[in-house]
Amino acid sequence: MRKFFTQRKLNIIFSVLALALMWIFWIIAYYIAGNPLIVPSFTDTVKSLWQYLGDGQYWLAVLNSFARTLLAFTVSFALASACVAFSLAGKWAKALLKPAVVLIRTLPTMAVILLILRATHYNRTLSPVIVTFLVLFPMIYSQISSAVEGISRDITQMADVYSVGKRDRLFKIYLPGVTPSILAQTGANISLGLKIMISSEVLANTADGLGGMMQYSNLASEIANLSALTLTAVFLGLAVELAFSQLKRVTFKWSEKEGCGD
């Protein structure tokens, strides 16, 4: 317990130091550039962010981008889980899925956005969701597949010997075995999905999302506003990762309890 709190204090100290260094680099870059249209001042960025906090359109854009990210992640996770379950049918099933997963993983993002925009008749809301899905799906599939393969063969063989039912296998072997590993990566996956979503919104010029607001600020040369929106995306991603890191601790205790219980 003492080791845990010591490690936590160190993590907080290093995080604060990292933020302080980033702030110092920002100030140095501002004075080196000498042009607020290239690097805005930290003060102007904070003022812009403060103004945004009182703007309902800003909060709607944040909600829209985050909701679309969650949609893309949920669909990716559900389909990846189904594909992993299918791959357990045998080596032939995994071999059948591998080319499709590799193909999706290697698709160039920018070209895909342009193609999807045309295919969806320039639907600037749906296109970023599809692009984010195409990025997240192969990654989540690999993560879940690795987590399932990481379950000890001794445990699964013992379940076969004692004829453990499918329900008990699911809730007492597979779920406790893979949940901590998957949750450890879920926060990072959603955070990455948010970055992909916003980038896609910028390219698709999605007006009701953070990416659309960034595109407008860039075209209007409102660089302080652009920096404030970028900080919003960073803080949102960090909040998601922090929330899932806390959730991971809870599920890790549950995993240990199930693994050692009954």
Domains of the chain with CATH codes: 56-260 (1.10.3720.10)
pLDDT of 262 higher than 80: no
pTM of the model as a whole: 0.82
pLDDT tens-digit series, residues 96-153? 888 889 888 888 877 788 888 888 877 888 889 999 999 999 999 998 888 887 765 6
For the chain, percent of residues with pLDDT exceeding 70: 78
pLDDT of 152: 54
Average of per-residue pLDDT across 191-195? 93
Instruction: Give residue 50's pLDDT.
Output: 94
Least reliable range by pLDDT among 162-166, 216-220, 253-257: 253-257
Render pLDDT for 203-213 as a digit per residue (tens, 0 to 9). Answer: 888 888 999 99
State residue 67 phi and psi, 5-degree precision.
-65, -40
Task: Report pLDDT for 45.
Answer: 92
Which residue would you say has higher pLDDT here, 161 or 81?
A: 81
pLDDT score, position 61? 94
State residue 166's pLDDT score: 58
User: Based on C-alpha coordinates, what's the Rg of the chain?
Assistant: 22
Least confident of 11-20, 49-58, 124-133, 250-259: 250-259
